[in-house]
Structures are given as C-alpha cells and as structure tokens.
Amino acid sequence: ATPAEEKDLVIIGGGVAGYVAAIKAGQEGLKVACIEKRGALGGTCLNVGCIPSKSLLNNSHLYHQILHDTKNRGIEVGEVKLNLEQMMKAKDTSVAGLTKGVEFLFKKNNVEYIKGTGAFADEHTIAVNLVDGGETSVRGKNILIATGSEATPFPGLNIDEKKVVTSTGAIALKAVPKKMLVIGGGIIGLEMGSVWSRLGAEVTVVEFLGQIGGPGMDAEISKSIQKILGKQGMKFKLNTKVVKGDDSGDIVKIDVEAAKGGKEETLEADVVLVAIGRRPYTAGLGLENIGLEVDKRGRIVIDQEYRTKLPHIRVIGDCTFGPMLAHKAEEEAVAAVEFITKNYGHVNYNAIPSVMYTHPEVAWVGQNEAEVKEAGIKYKTGTFPFSANSRAKTNQDTDGMVKFVADAETDRILGIHIVGPNAGEMIAEGTLALEYGASTEDVGRTSHAHPTLSEAFKEAAMATYGKAIHY
C-alpha cells in the first residue's frame, strides 16, 4: 500500500464543529482534510437538526397563523389546506442549499473533503472506509475529533423513526399524527411538539422535572412559555416519569407515573417522540486503539485547550463537554485551530446564548435567577412585559417578557432571559452586553429605536436599576 498522505490537520466529522474548523484551518494556510461519513457536510445541525427543524417551525407557524390569526387583522382567506409533502420539500431545499454551500466553502479554502468513516489506526493515522466503496488512510500532524452526538434512546422502546421517533423521524413524518406523545419537555420536545401541534396533532409532553425547557431555562420564563404553549393546545404532564412503553401494535402505549412514585396511567399515541437528551457519539472511532477514554457520560476527556492526553489530538463540539449547541461548536472550532496555529484561543462559556424556536421564542444568556441565588450572590431582577411594548401591540403579538438578573451591588448583568417575539435575535444584544461586562444602566441608557421590540429589552434593564417608563 502507498504510504498515507500527511496533513497538518485531519478532522473527523464534518458537522458544525468539524466543518468550521476545516474552513478556519484552510484560511490559516494549513494543509487540512475533513472526513465525513453521512455523504453530506453540516452534520446533525444542517441535515437533521437546527436547519430542518427551523424550516418546519417557520412554515407550520405561518400555517397556524393563517388558520387562526388573520380575521382580526382584516385579512380574510379562503380555504386553507396543508400540503405536508410540499412543506417537507421546502425543508429539504433549505437543507440541500446549505450543505452544498459548505462543500463550496471547502473548495474555496482548499479543504480536502474525504467522504467516509474514519477510525484511528494509530496515533497519527486515520483509516477511512469510503462511502463509495474502498478504503484509504490519511495521516495528521494534528487530529481533531468532532464526531458529534446522537439521541439518547429510551430503554425498552424500539426506535423505528416512524411510530417511535427521535427528532430525525419527527422532521420527516409522512402524515400528521392524531395523537403525539413527547417524552422529555426539553428544547427538542417543545420545538417538534410545536410543529406537529400547529399542524393538527394532539400533543402531550411528559416531563420528569417540575418545569419544561430543559437545563438552564429560568423558572419564571419556563412557567410563562408553558402557559402560552398550553393556550396553543399543547398538554403537559410534569413531575411525571415514563415507566415503560409497548410499541408492538399500531398504537403505542406508554405507562407513566408520578416522578416521586404513585399514581400510574397508560397513555396512547400514534407517534411517540423520544426527546430525553443527546449523548456523545464516538462509536467505531477506534479510541481504544490509541488508549483514549471517555467519561461516564461518554464524553472524551480534554483539557482547557481541547487536548486529549495525546496532545496532538483535540476534541470539540457535542462529543465533549459543554452545551450541545451549534454556535458553541463553532466557537470551539475557531479556538481549537488558533491553539494549533497561534498557541492561544478563547471561548467565553459564560456568554453562550440559548434559543428555543417556539412561538414566541425563548432565549437566554448567562445565569438564571435560581443559579444566582444558589451561588449566594446578592442580586436584583427587572422585568418588562411585551404587552406594554408598542411594537408588540401593533403586531398583536404581546405574549412574554424580558427579565434581567444583575448583581445587587455592582449592577453588572449576570443573566438575561426573554420569552417573546423575536427573542432569538434580541438575545444577541444581551450576549454582547454580557461579553462586554455591561451593567443594566449601560443598557438602559442606550438609545433603542422606536417602535421596536428591543425597547422592551431597554425598559427591562431600566426596571432593574430604576424604573421603566411604560410600565
């Protein structure tokens, strides 16, 4: 066999973490190859995650709004019909455009794209099983593992992606289920639950904890969005655990009981969405061949510079520590390459925003009120409701609020939490404020255009150090 070609950097995984690192490395003049096995670049996010789910969220929201929220606006429409096949096609078009776009960026930045499954043959060599058949291998002075994550299965339920689905099946259902049961009221459960509820399914969410939204969401905001989603028709069973499921028939039966033990009940659904979290994916990577280990939760162990105990091998994105978010993976990708080329890199993990793309959206950055309280910090809060914001009123979209959590003594912002229209865009301003160490008064004394939703952001800041004007 011919000796494997040596690169400055070999990346395993072409998801957001891997492809961003590849482009950055190309820009920095490194000889770089990126190995991806799914036949398309962009990973979970572009192919079966962020992008397809947002396409369905956007179009299902339009459909729902046209059905229920036009008459009062003076728009009378005729017969409204759902064409699910076309809605799925629109989603596929968005996905294909973006994944092809990444392929173009690879060419532009001299990244070699190897379509296949990579595994460690030794500490510097990756053996690749090519998608189109055959094998090759590539050597790297540096290696970056960016193999991502997969849905955590529910013991005893057989995921067929039709009747019992993860998010991957939930973005590709062929028909609107009559009844959908969602196990796990985190971000995936609420986003995908929203899609199918808007399209006509009766959706029930079973959540183990006493609040929805998954880790990090402020309790006051969580309560607010639960009420709003409830008005939209979603049902919630909190403090409830799934004991077991039976998926042998056409209708799936799920036994649930109170989390603390007690009352049992059997729920039935034609589609069950398992959304109880994701776990790092490192299967088949051959970590054992080079003596690398994963922790109890399957994460590859690394130091502050993303290095494993073999310092030329780094790990970023969903397959290691931190929130499983595309923009977190992207920050790490740039930092990891900079550690290789410049010996320094930086990610501020205290200022990574989270967004849930329901309607209205929920977005936050920094610490929530419970976390600040638990840390024993003296704090103050300020809120402003969208019902008192002029633009939200003109848009007839007034559910929600903005909430600041700030240090009581210094006024420095500790966290910002929003439930409301356009929260996902608005949180960028909050993230910048946090990144720059702003106080609530800095934000409150910054002019915000009128009439915009972002005035609610300014006024919530004003309410934290003083008083809002319009509430």
- Which residue in 60, 125, 147, 308 binds ligand FAD (CB under 6 A)? 147
- Which residue in 17, 252, 302, 324 binds ligand NAD (CB under 6 A)? 324
User: What gap in Å lies between CA 208 and CA 28, rounded to an integer?
Assistant: 47
Token look-up 């690192």 returns 21
The set of catalytic residues is 450
Interior/surface letters 140-162, b for 16+ CB within 10 angstroms, e for the rest: bebbbbbbbbbbeebeebebeee
185 binds, among ligand FAD, ligand NAD, none (CB under 5 to 8 A by kind): ligand NAD
Site membership for ligand FAD, residue 325 (CB under 6 A): yes
208 binds, among ligand NAD, ligand FAD, none (CB under 5 to 8 A by kind): ligand NAD
In angstroms, what is the minimal distance from the CB of 116 to ligand FAD? 7
How far lies 186's CA from each of 204, 207, 214, 226, in Å? 13, 8, 4, 12
12 binds, among ligand FAD, ligand NAD, none (CB under 5 to 8 A by kind): ligand FAD
User: What gap in Å lies between CA 115 and CA 247, rounded to an integer?
Assistant: 36
User: What gap in Å lies between CA 196 and CA 269, rounded to an integer?
Assistant: 13
Contact criterion met (CB below 8 Å) for 276 and 108: no
Residue 67 or 130: which CB sits closer to ligand FAD? 130
Structure tokens of 61? 């929201």
- Interface region with ligand FAD, contact rule CB under 6 A, candidates 35-43, 75-83, 305-313, 386-394: 35-43
Residue 171 or 460: which CB sits closer to ligand FAD? 171
Contact criterion met (CB below 8 Å) for 183 and 176: no
Structure tokens of 227? 């009420």
- Chain positions 370 to 409 lying near ligand NAD, rule: CB under 6 A, are none
How far lies 443's CA from each of 157, 416, 451, 455, 466, in Å? 49, 12, 17, 10, 12
- Interface region with ligand FAD, contact rule CB under 6 A, candidates 3-11, 29-37, 98-106, 461-469: 29-37
Contact criterion met (CB below 8 Å) for 461 and 443: yes
Contact criterion met (CB below 8 Å) for 314 and 10: no
- Which residue in 30, 106, 139, 148 binds ligand FAD (CB under 6 A)? 148
Site membership for ligand NAD, residue 191 (CB under 6 A): yes
- Which residue in 7, 24, 37, 163 binds ligand FAD (CB under 6 A)? 37
Pairing state of beta strands 135-145 and 5-12?
Answer: parallel
Tell me, residue by residue from 260 to 299, as one string, x for binding to ligand NAD by CB under 6 A and - for no binding.
---------------xxxx---------------------
- Write the DSSP symbol of residue 307: B
Residue 186 or 444: which CB sits closer to ligand FAD? 186
In angstroms, what is the minimal distance from the CB of 73 to ligand NAD? 28
Residue 209 or 301: which CB sits closer to ligand NAD? 209
17 binds, among ligand NAD, ligand FAD, none (CB under 5 to 8 A by kind): ligand FAD
Residue 339 or 364: which CB sits closer to ligand NAD? 364
Pairing state of beta strands 179-183 and 271-274?
Answer: parallel
The contacts of residue 403 (CB under 8 Å, 6+ apart) are 218, 220, 221, 369, 381, 382, 383, 416, 417, 418, 460
For 275-301, give the DSSP string.
-S-EEE--TTS-GGGGT--B-TTSPBP
Amino acid, res. 326: A
In angstroms, what is the minimal distance from the CB of 189 to ligand NAD? 5
276 binds, among ligand NAD, ligand FAD, none (CB under 5 to 8 A by kind): ligand NAD
Amino acid, res. 151: A
Closest CA to 417 of 470, 349, 426, 57: 426
Site membership for ligand NAD, residue 426 (CB under 6 A): no
- Interface region with ligand NAD, contact rule CB under 6 A, candidates 208-216, 375-383, 393-401, 459-467: 208-216
Site membership for ligand FAD, residue 44 (CB under 6 A): yes
Tell me, residue by residue from 149 to 168, as one string, x for binding to ligand FAD by CB under 6 A and - for no binding.
x-----------------x-
Site membership for ligand NAD, residue 214 (CB under 6 A): yes
The contacts of residue 462 (CB under 8 Å, 6+ apart) are 382, 384, 440, 444, 468, 469
Residues forming contacts to ligand NAD in the complex (CB under 6 A) are 183-189, 191, 206-209, 214-215, 241-242, 275-278, 323-325, 355-357
Positions touching ligand FAD (CB under 6 A) are 12-18, 35-38, 43-45, 49-50, 53, 117-118, 146-149, 167, 188, 281, 284-285, 317-318, 324-327, 329
